[in-house]
Amino acid sequence: MRHTVEAAGTLLEVLERMHPGASKRTLRTMLDVGRVTVDGTVERRAKAEVPAGATIEVGAKVSKPTKATPGPKVLYEDEFVLVAEKPHGLLTVATDQGAEDTLYDRAFEHAKRARRGGRVFIVHRLDRPTSGVVVLAKDEETKEALQAEFAERDVERVYAALVEGVPAEKEGKLVAHLKESKSLQVYATPDKKGGRRVALDYRVMAEGGGYSLVEVTLETGRKAQIRVQFAEAGHPLAGDARYGAKTDPLGRLGLHAMRLAFDHPATGERIVVESPPPKRFWSVVGGRSAPTAQEELTPDEE
């Protein structure tokens, strides 16, 4: 990737402008391994001053022998769509030129193995620390149709969130307005004109040990929406230190996309794909798993 510097600054500052979605750690790694040149000369110093007009070039990530890319956990698949379960800690798609193991990589390799010339297209994303259901398209027409469904809010998105404390109301709606800072931190704001309105419905499924396992249905879908809204409500997600969590019982963020429902672009059929919350989510609140339909019946209903 080649870039002509418009405004002078340190090399790290220039790289941050070139790759706004990349972390400083990733950018420093690019420098350390010699992938960055300034006017044709390798430069590893993050604080090196770069004048306006200089040419920055980021070379391709040096490949190294690795084990074969693991396949995705497929939840549903046909000739048009692939629905997979993303593990927590895995990117949906790479955020910079230095590609790494991502859900997209795994799905792409799966598509190539299944059919020569097979392709996949990203429709939506889950944050890296979030696990759960993701839908990908196998052609551009399907991708555009699915993205239109997301934009029109025709897609049902349901999450399981493990939160600190117990909400006073066992079910309800949370509404807020969100903004994003220059450092990409999402936060709630009283400024209704400057912030984007977001809303979700929630229902407490279980509670215990100072935590609640909550079913969350999105009305809107914004970056970090669930994390910010529950933090604002005084119940940050377990393991979410960025938004005020004080505990980390799972060793990960307590958020899992457990259900996705959409109209199939080719057939019009309503497709519902589910991935139950990890058993560890239930164990934190003292349960072993979700209650079965029979267990939820009252004696009068049996």
pLDDT along the chain (302 residues), means of 10: 87 88 83 86 89 87 59 95 96 71 92 85 95 97 97 96 97 91 82 84 97 97 91 96 95 98 97 97 82 39 33
> Tokens at residue 202, please?
């929630």
Bridge partners for 8 per DSSP: none
Tell me what pLDDT residue 96 has: 59
Domain positions in the chain: 2-58, 73-284
Q: Tell me, what's the pLDDT at 22?
A: 81
Q: Would you state the pLDDT for residue 293?
A: 38
Return the DSSP state at 278. Answer: P
* Residue 269 backbone dihedrals phi, psi, to 5 degrees: -65, 140
Q: Tell me which fold the domain 73-284 belongs to.
A: Pseudouridine synthase (3.30.2350)
The pLDDT value recorded for residue 85 is 98
Write down the pLDDT at residue 292: 43
Six token digits for residue 221 = 């879908």
- For the structural domain made of 2-58, what CATH number should be given? 3.10.290.10
First to last CA, the chain: 65
pLDDT at 187: 81
As a whole number of angstroms, the distance between CA 70 and CA 29 comes to 25
Q: Are 153 and 124 in contact (CB under 8 A)?
A: no
Claim: this prediction has a pTM higher than 0.75: no
* Catalytic entry in 39, 105, 127, 300: 127
User: How far, in whole angstroms, is CA 4 from its chain's centroid?
Assistant: 32
- What integer pLDDT is reported at residue 299 of this predicted model? 35
pLDDT at res. 98: 52
- Matching CATH topology for 2-58 and 73-284? no
Whether 127 is a known active-site residue: answer yes
Task: Supply the pLDDT for residue 1.
Answer: 72
